[in-house]
Each structure stands twice: as C-alpha cells, then as structure tokens.
Structure 1
Amino acid sequence: MASVAARRVLRDRARANRAAAAQRRTVARAARRIRTGARSIATHVIATGADAATVKGIVKALQTAAKAARTKGLKGKRARIRRSFNGARNVVKTVFRYTREQIAEIAAQYKPRKAEYKTVRAALLAAA
C-alpha cells in the first residue's frame, strides 16, 4: 500500500499533467481558429502560447494600439456579440476581428517594455 506522501505526489503530478494538457489544447484551438479567418486580438495572443496573465496585459495594450491604427486606416472586421455586462444580460457589444497580417501591423506599432510582452510581440510578427 502506498503511503500518504506517495499518493499526494501522484495526485499533484496528475493535476499538473491535466493543467498542461488543457493549456496545450487552448493554444492549439486558438492557432486553428486564426488560420481560418479574422479573430479577436486575444485569440491571436493565446495562439502564441502565452500564459493567462501575460495574455490579459498585452491584449489591453494591443487594443490601444489597434485604436490608434484604426485612425490610420487599419480597420478590422466589425462583429456584434451579445454578452453579460454589469449584471445586464444580452447586451449587444461591437467588437473587431483581425487577420494575421493586421495583427502584425498592430504589433509592429506596439513597443513593449516587459520581456514577456516582447516575446509575444515577436511571435505575432513572425506569424504573419
């Protein structure tokens, strides 16, 4: 019979393996989606394999860069989604979807300072 410590090690290893597999599935799903058409900035960043905290930070920065690029003529495809917002359900919100090439143009204008953001920017530029 295995000891309590051995079972804990096995349980923790299984939990870590499930988390890693879920991360790989998320990256593969995002990569497949951006190959098929225009997607959100977040989907493009997730496809680079960045962790959740990095995705959240760089997406906000790239959305700001995309707003600046919109004034210069780079327009994403408009889409309307329904989502919950401040407790209200089915609120219609206009969002923008971008192709790989458009994301590369936005990323070219973005100059990050953090090392993690620089690696994601390089991956976005290389994907186009």
Structure 2
Amino acid sequence: MASANSRRAAAIIRNRARANREAARARRAAATAARRVRTGPRSLVTHIIATGAPLDSVEGAADALRSRARKEGIRGRAVRIRRTFNGHARRTLTVYRYTAEQVAEIVANYKPRKAEYKAIRAALVAA
C-alpha cells in the first residue's frame, strides 16, 4: 500500500507533467502559426495565435477583428475549404485569408475593452 505522501507526490508530478505538455502545445502552436503568417495570407485566428495569445480568448478576438474588417471594407483573399462538421459530410465553406499588412490595417482602428483583447491588440500591433 502506498503512503499518502507518495500518492500526493505522484499527483504533483502528474499535474506538473500535464501542465508542461499543455504549455509545450501552446508554444508549438504559436511557433507554427508565426511561421505560417510569415509565408503568406492566413486566417485572423492564425495571426492571433502567432502572437502567443491564450487559446481560450483567440476566437472572441478573431470575431471582433472580423467585424472590424467588415466595417472598414477590408476583404481578405477568399479561399474555399472542405470542412467536416460533427463528424458528418464535408461541406465546402468560403473563408478569408488576410496578409500581415491587412491585419495591421484592421488592428489600427480596433479599440477593444477587455484586458485580454487589449493585450492581443498590442501584440498584433508589435508584430
């Protein structure tokens, strides 16, 4: 029978390993996204992930930037993708890819209120 101290120590090691794996996934995602952004037009989500933003706030910030782009009349390059929804048939969608210059233009007039989005805006301006 394992003692309470050894079970507690094992739990701490397990939790630390889990946290390390999660941090490594986030770093890898940011590095991959940054490389892709440098090579050509990408989605707004990819531009935001490339800044190293926390993944739980990426989608909301991308939605805000999309509406800002619509107001400014900035249209990215239209691309057709085939995407699986809920494990069913692959549907064709039209999505838009933005260059770094277009993203900079969108961010110039973006005035977020949430602190998380302000940090994302600052990172996009610096990029």
TM-score normalised over the length of structure 2: 0.89
Q: Which residue of 1 aligns with 2:79?
A: 79
- Using the alignment, how far apart are the partners of 1:3 and 1:125 within structure 2? 49
Q: What's the C-alpha RMSD, in Å, of the aligned pairs?
A: 1.7
Instruction: Classify 1:111/1:25 alpha carbon distance in 2 versus 1 (closer, same or farther; 3 Å).
Output: same
Counting aligned pairs with the same residue, the percent is 56
User: Structure 1 runs of 4+ off > 6 angstroms?
Assistant: none
- Using the alignment, how far apart are the partners of 1:81 and 1:115 within structure 2? 33
Structure 2 segments unaligned to the other structure (5+ residues)? none
- Using the alignment, how far apart are the partners of 1:123 and 1:97 within structure 2? 19
Q: Which residue of 2 aligns with 1:126?
A: 126
Q: Which residue of 2 aligns with 1:8?
A: 11
- Using the alignment, how far apart are the partners of 1:39 and 1:114 within structure 2? 24
Structure 1 segments unaligned to the other structure (5+ residues)? none
Residue identity matched to 2:17: A
Q: Which residue of 2 aligns with 1:32?
A: 35
- The alignment of Structure 1 onto Structure 2 pairs a total of residues equal to 124
TM-score normalised over the length of structure 1: 0.89
Q: Which residue of 2 aligns with 1:94?
A: 94
Residue identity matched to 1:75: R
- Using the alignment, how far apart are the partners of 2:13 and 2:95 within structure 1? 44
